[in-house]
Amino acid sequence: MSPTGQRVLLVDDNADSSEPLSLLLQAKGHETRIAMEGEQALVMADEFQPGCVVLDLGLPGMDGYEVARRLRQRPYGPDLVLVALTGWAGKEVRAKAAEAGFDYHLVKPVNLDELADIVRVESAQSRRR
C-alpha cells in the first residue's frame, strides 16, 4: 500500500463493473484485489487484509448482505469500511444493508468520484487510528 493509499477489495460477479473501478482506485494510489463471489471474497479478505471492501449485494450463491455480516465477524471486521455498490436502491434495501454492517450504500452506475472520495477519506482516517 502506498503511504496515501488503502487496500481495497472489490467484490462483484461482473468483471465489466469491477475492472474499471480497480483501475481507477489504483490510479488514485490504492492497492486493489477483485473477487467474483462471496466465498472467494471471504478467503481473499483474510489473505489481503483490506481496509475497505466494495461489495455488490446481488452476488450468486452467498449474497452481499451475508458476506458483509461474515466480514464484520472477522477479527479485523469492526475496522473495515464496507461499501455496498449495487443496482438496488430504496429505503428497505438501504436499511437491510445498514443492518448487515455496511457503512455506505452506492447505486450503480456509481459516481466514480464519490467512490474515490469515500476510499480516500476512509484511508486518511484509518492512518490516524
With beta carbons less than 8 A apart as the criterion, state whether 41 and 18 touch: no
The grid coordinates listed for 35 are: 473477487
In CATH, what number does 7-122 get? Answer: 3.40.50.2300
Domain chopping of the chain, boundaries: 7-122
Q: Which residue has the cell 461474515?
A: 70
**Whether this model's pTM surpasses 0.85:** yes
With beta carbons less than 8 A apart as the criterion, state whether 30 and 122 touch: no
Where would I find the beta strands (DSSP E) of the chain?
7-11, 31-35, 52-55, 81-86, 104-107
The grid coordinates listed for 42 are: 471471504
Query: 3-state DSSP call for residue 40?
Result: helix
Per-residue pLDDT tens digits for 43-64: 999 999 999 999 999 998 899 9
Quote the percentage of the chain above a pLDDT of 70: 90
**pLDDT above 80 for 126:** no
